[in-house]
Structure 1
Amino acid sequence: MKDIAKKANTMYLLEKYNMKATKKFGQNFLIDLNVVQKIVDCTSIDQQTCVIEIGPGIGALTEQLSYRAGHVVSYEIDIRLKDVLNESLQECTNVEVIFQDFLTVDLKQVVHHYKQHYSKVCIVANLPYYITSDILEHIIISQADIDSIHVMVQKEVALKLTDASYHSPLTFMIEGIGQASLDMTISKNVFSPAPRVDSAILSIMMEKTYNPLLTKILKQAFTQKRKTIYNNLKGLFLENTEKILNECGIDLKTRPEQLTIEDYQKLTHYL
């Protein structure tokens, strides 16, 4: 089927297979072809790119990605969509759909495999809102040789993750691997069913090698945001906490969100 994202085509497929979006998987189906094409424009993918897609749904974004990319591998957790995708993507010969929870995928191994055939590997996805942070963390800590990430998330989340004054474990993780940008906003009215909030495309250019120890430091540092960095890190560094913070030039009374990515990178050396 061509142009799956057209409202009439989406409704046809959903009705034919008696499909309804489920809250369990955070499903909202895109019904605006123009918006889907603009999302693909944000990615700068080409025939030398392998795209890893998370949650293809009924294939609206998958189809448009297949026209630009050399290969698309889509991970879908909802096995109810098997028959739908077999029909909707039957003409997309460069698409491979794998029914597996993306959070269980050995991403480093998968990317290594596709890097032998394609010069770039990018992740593109319309992420379920409830699991956005888990998926981004899974990608970052995998240490997979990914070139870029382009994901649709809640607009509010995208604004926070690209706000230089907002700090959380995830913003520091992103800073530790590359640079994030908000590329476009998307109205809630181009989905069926319509979510309660607008969305945005968040892009992360993967420019550095990630140190997984950074995640361990960040999780511990933000255990209780209102406590000082000293109190939070005592659970990790024990009696050496004061000495380590002093050696890193970090004030013991500083709050975790007041530190810089450089401070946290210094702390990783002590693990």
Structure 2
Amino acid sequence: MKDIAKKSNTQYLLDKYKLQASKKFGQNFLIDLNTIKRIVATTHIDKETCVIEIGPGIGALSEQLAYHAGYVRCYEIDTRLKDLLKESLGEFTNIEVVFQDFLTVDLKKIVEELKQTYSKVCIIANLPYYITSDILEHIICSQASLSSIHAMVQKEVALKLTDTQYHSPLTFMIESIGTISLDMHVSRNVFSPAPRVDSAIIAIHIHKEYNILLTHLLKQAFTQKRKTIYNNLKVIFGTNTKYILEQCQIKENKRPEELKIEDYLKLTKYL
């Protein structure tokens, strides 16, 4: 089917297979073709690129990705969509749909396999709001050699993640591997059903491999944000905490959000 995102085509497919958007999986289907084309344009993918798409839904974004990318592998958790996706994306020879929870995927292994054929592998996803952080952390912690991550997230989340004054375990994880930008705003009105909030496209361009030791360190450092870094890290470093902070030239009365990523990377050497 051509132009899946057209509202009439979307409704036809949903009616034919007696389906509606699942609240459980946070589904909101894109029904504006121009918006989808603009999203694809921000990713700068080409025929040398393999795209891993998370949550294709009924295939509206997948279709447009397939026109530009060399190969698109989609991971979909909702098995109700099997027959529908066979019809909507069946004409494409460069799309594969895998019905699996993305959070269970061995991403590093999969990307290594895909890079034997394609020079670049990137992730493009319209993320359910309730699981945005979990998916981004899963991607980063996998240490997969991706070129970039392009994700549609809640606008408020996008503004936080791209605010240089806002610090959280996730923003530090992102900063440790590359750069983040807010590439595009997306109105709630281009979805069916329309969510209560607007969305935005963020892009994470990856330049460095992730240090897996950071995850545990950052989670512990931010356990209680009002406490000092000394008090939060005592759980990990015990009686050596004061000495380690001195060696890293970190004042023990600092709050976790006052540190820089360089500070946390220094601390990982003592784990």
TM-score range (shorter-chain normalised) is over 0.9
Aligned to 2:61: 61
Aligned to 2:219: 219
Q: Secondary structure at the match of 1:42?
A: helix
For 1:10, the aligned partner's letter is: T
Q: Distance in 2 between matches of 1:20 and 1:243?
A: 58
CA shift, 1:131, in A, is 0.3
For 1:244, the aligned partner's letter is: I
Q: Distance in 2 between matches of 1:228 and 1:19?
A: 51
For 1:187, the aligned partner's letter is: S
Aligned to 2:231: 231
CA shift, 1:60, in A, is 0.3
Q: Secondary structure at the match of 2:223?
A: coil
CA shift, 1:214, in A, is 0.8
Residue by residue over 1:81-137, the C-alpha shift from the partner in whole angstroms, topping out at 9 and shown as x without a partner, is 001100000111100000000000000000000000000001001001100000000
Alignment of 1:160-171 (within 5 A): 160-171=160-171
CA shift, 1:193, in A, is 0.4
CA shift, 1:188, in A, is 0.2
Q: Which runs of 5+ in 2 are unaligned?
A: none
Q: Do residues 101 (structure 1) and 101 (structure 2) align? A: yes
Aligned to 2:261: 261
Aligned to 2:86: 86
Aligned to 1:77: 77
For 1:223, the aligned partner's letter is: T
Residue by residue over 1:59-82, the C-alpha shift from the partner in whole angstroms, topping out at 9 and shown as x without a partner, is 000000000000000000000000
Q: Distance in 2 between matches of 1:235 and 1:210?
A: 23
Q: Distance in 2 between matches of 1:163 and 1:18?
A: 42
Q: Do residues 2 (structure 1) and 23 (structure 2) align? A: no
Q: Figure out how many residues of one structure are paired with residues of the other and give that number.
A: 271
Q: Distance in 1 between matches of 2:131 and 2:99?
A: 17
Q: Do residues 152 (structure 1) and 152 (structure 2) align? A: yes
For 1:22, the aligned partner's letter is: S
How does the TM-score come out when normalised to structure 1?
0.99
Question: Percent identity of the aligned residues?
Answer: 72
CA shift, 1:203, in A, is 0.2
CA shift, 1:18, in A, is 1.0
Q: Distance in 2 between matches of 1:265 and 1:191?
A: 41
Q: Distance in 2 between matches of 1:238 and 1:192?
A: 52
Q: Do residues 136 (structure 1) and 133 (structure 2) align? A: no
CA shift, 1:22, in A, is 1.2
For 2:89, the aligned partner's letter is: L
Q: Distance in 1 between matches of 2:19 and 2:43?
A: 29
Aligned to 2:194: 194
Q: Secondary structure at the match of 2:24?
A: helix
Aligned to 2:243: 243
Q: Distance in 2 between matches of 1:241 and 1:142?
A: 29
For 1:261, the aligned partner's letter is: I
For 2:65, the aligned partner's letter is: L
Q: Distance in 1 between matches of 2:18 and 2:254?
A: 55
Q: Which runs of 5+ in 1 are unaligned?
A: none
Residue by residue over 1:145-183, the C-alpha shift from the partner in whole angstroms, topping out at 9 and shown as x without a partner, is 100000100011011000000000000000000000000
Residue by residue over 1:4-60, the C-alpha shift from the partner in whole angstroms, topping out at 9 and shown as x without a partner, is 001110011011111111111000000000000100001000000000000000000
Q: Secondary structure at the match of 2:96?
A: strand
CA shift, 1:196, in A, is 0.5
Alignment of 1:12-91 (within 5 A): 12-91=12-91
Q: Distance in 1 between matches of 2:15 and 2:233?
A: 54
CA shift, 1:205, in A, is 0.1
